[in-house]
Amino acid sequence: MITIIKQINENIMKKIFYSLYMFGVATLCMVAISCSDELTELTEVSYDRLFSPVDLEVRVRQQVNAAVSWKAVNKATGYSIELYQGETVAAGTLIQSETTPSTSYTFTKLEGSEAYAVRVKATGSSIPESKWVEASFKTDAEQIFYEVDPALIEAKQATLTWPAGENVQTLHIMPGEIKRTLTSTEIAEGKAVITGLASETEYTVNLLRGTKIRGTVTFTTPVDLDGAIPLYADATEEEIKLAFQNLAEGDKICLLPAADGTTAFVPAEVTLSVSCSVMALQSKPVTADLCFKIDGTASDITIKDLNFKSNKSVAFCTILNVSAGANIKISNCTIDSYSKVITEDEHSSSVQTGDLTVENCVITNISGHGIDFQKKHISFSTFTLKNSTAYNTCNGQNFIRFDFVRTGVVYTVTNNTIYDVKASNKGLVYIRSNKAGNHDFTCNVSKNIFAFSAEATDVFFTEDSKSDNILFDSNYYLNAGSLLANPSTGSGKAFDTAGIVADPKFKDAANGDFTVGNEDIIYYKIGDPRWH
C-alpha cells in the first residue's frame, strides 16, 4: 500500500516539475519575443520634427562682433537665427534676423558694453522645424581709438585719433571728470587735441556716443621742460661739454635721469658764455659732478634745482668774465665737496656787475673758502645769501669774503642755518670798506642760527677793522661766544652784542638734519625755513 502511494507521489512530482519547466520555457520565449519586438521598434522610430541645435555658443570678438556656433542637426537643411537687444529674448527687441545653411554666424558692429540674446532653430525641406534654443551675451567696451602716438603726447596737451566720420559725440577726460563736446570738424577728421593737461600725469579718455563708450585710451604726459633742452645722465663728458657749448642766448638746459634710471652725471667742466638757465626737475632729481666757468657776455645766469657733488679740489663756479650789470643766481641746489662755492681767479676781468644771489641752498663739505672774491676784480651791486644751510665747511678759511667793495653795495645774510662753519681765517662775513669807519657798504645779518658742535673760540665775523659796518638783528647762537663779544684774545672786529643764546635743539645735526625743536626759533622764523 505504501509502495503504491509512493509511486503515485513520484508521478505527481514529475508532472509538477514538467509543468514548471514548460511554463519557464514559455515565459522565456515570450520575453524573447517581446524584446525582439521592442528593438525593432526603436530602430525604426520616426520623429515628427527636427531636433533643436545643441552646444549653442557665443564668442565676443574684437569687442563688438559676436560669433555664434552650434552642432549640426540631422536632416536639417538650414538654420534660422535671430538677434535681440536685451538680456533675454523675451525681454529684448528683435534687431536682426538671418538664415544660414552653415552651423555658425557672426554679427558685426554691435554696440559696445551691451546685453544681447540670440536664438537658433533648425529648418528642413520635408520635416517640420525644431524648437528655438537661446543664449545670452554681452559685448565688450568698444575700442575705435587708434594707438596713441607718443610724439603727439606733450606735457600740457595730447592729440588723439580714431577712424574718420564715426558716430561719436564727446570725450570724457579723467582725472578731472571733464566732458568735452567734439566739433563737427573733429568728428569728420577723427582727431581731437586735448589742451590744459598737467605734466607727468596719467590720463584716461573715453570716446562716447551718448553714454556708450566707443573707445578708451590711457596715456601719461611727459615732464614739462618748458622749452628747455634735455641733457640725460648717461651722457659722456664730451657730450656734456658740447651741450653747454652749443647753448644760445636765453636757452635753458635741463638735466634729467637717463632712460635706464641713471641719475648721476660723469664729472665735467663746462663753460657758460651766454645768458642761460641750468636746471633739473624736482620730480626727477639728479646728481651732477659739474664745475662751471662763467666766461663771456652773459647778462643773466641761473642755476637751480640741482644736486651737485664733486670729488675734486675744484670750485663749483668760477667767474672769469661777465657783462656789466649781469645777475647770477644759484637757487635750490645742494653744493657738496667742492674747494669753493663761487669765486673769481687771477685772470678775471675787472667789472662792476649786478646781483649775486644764493638762496634755498645746502652747502656742505667745502674744503676752502666759501663765497670768495678777494682778487679784487669783480664787484657786485648786491649780494644775498638767504634761506640756506651751510654745515661742516670752510674749516680754517673764509665763509663770505668781498674785498672789492664799491660805494652803496648792499650785502644781506638772512634766515640761514650755519653749523660748524669754522671760518677762522678772516671770518664768517669778511667785507672790507676802503677805510675803517667810512661805511662804504651796508651789510645786514639777521634771523640766522650760528651754532657749533663744541664751543668755538676762534671764529669771528670779521678780522678786519674796515669791516665795521655789519648790522645784526634777531640772530640765535649756540657754542658761539666769540661771535657775541670781543674776547680777551683774538682780533675780531664785529660782534653781535644783541645776539640770543639758545639751543635750537636740532634733530640730528651730525647727519645733516637740522629740524628745529626750539619753539621760539620756530615762532620767530629764525634760520633756514626748510627746518621748521
Q: Could you write out the DSSP letters of every residue in 204-267? A: EEEEEETTEEEEEEEEE-----TTPEEEETT--HHHHHHHHHTPPTTEEEEEE--TTS--EEEE
Mean pLDDT computed over every residue of the chain: 89
pLDDT digits (tens, 9 = 90+) for 86-123: 999 999 999 999 999 999 999 999 998 899 999 999 99
pLDDT-based confidence at residue 200 (cuts at 50, 70, 90) = confident
Distance CA 141, CA 211 (A): 12
User: 316 and 415 in one domain?
Assistant: yes
> Is 44 within a domain?
no
User: 319 and 304 in one domain?
Assistant: no
> Is 290 within a domain?
yes
Domain count, the chain: 4
User: 432 and 512 in one domain?
Assistant: yes
Residues with Cβ < 8 Å from 323, sequence gap 6 or more?
297, 298, 299, 351, 353
Q: Is the CB of residue 412 less than 8 Å from the CB of residue 382? A: yes
> Is 32 within a domain?
no
User: 130 and 159 in one domain?
Assistant: no
Instruction: Please give the residue range of the domain that contains residue 261.
Output: 225-309
End of a domain among 220, 248, 279? 220
What CATH number did the domain enclosing 101 receive? Answer: 2.60.40.10
Kindly report the backbone phi and psi dihedral angles of residue 27, in degrees, each rounded to the nearest multiple of 5, phi listed first: -65, -45
> Is 6 within a domain?
no
Q: Is the CB of residue 417 less than 8 Å from the CB of residue 444? A: no
User: 397 and 303 in one domain?
Assistant: no
End of a domain among 195, 220, 245? 220
User: 444 and 381 in one domain?
Assistant: yes
User: 322 and 287 in one domain?
Assistant: no
User: 106 and 215 in one domain?
Assistant: no
Distance CA 192, CA 110 (A): 24
pLDDT of residue 9: 45
End of a domain among 309, 344, 361? 309
Residues with Cβ < 8 Å from 496, sequence gap 6 or more?
445, 461, 472, 475, 477, 483, 484
Nearest Cα neighbor of 81 from 92, 96, 66, 64 is 96
Q: What average pLDDT does this structure show over 390-401?
A: 94
Distance CA 350, CA 422 (A): 30
pLDDT of residue 433: 80
User: 187 and 172 in one domain?
Assistant: yes
Counting Cβ atoms within 10 Å, is residue 261 exposed (0-12), middle (13-18) or buried (19+)?
Answer: exposed
> Is 29 within a domain?
no
Residues paired with residue 383 on neighbouring β-strands, in sequence order: 356, 411
Distance CA 293, CA 273 (A): 8
- pLDDT at 1 exceeding the cut of 70: no
Cα 221 to chain centroid distance, Å, stands at 9
User: 333 and 232 in one domain?
Assistant: no
- pLDDT at 174 exceeding the cut of 80: yes
User: 372 and 450 in one domain?
Assistant: yes
Place of cell 552651423: 103
State yes or no: cis peptide before 504, omega within 30 of 0: no
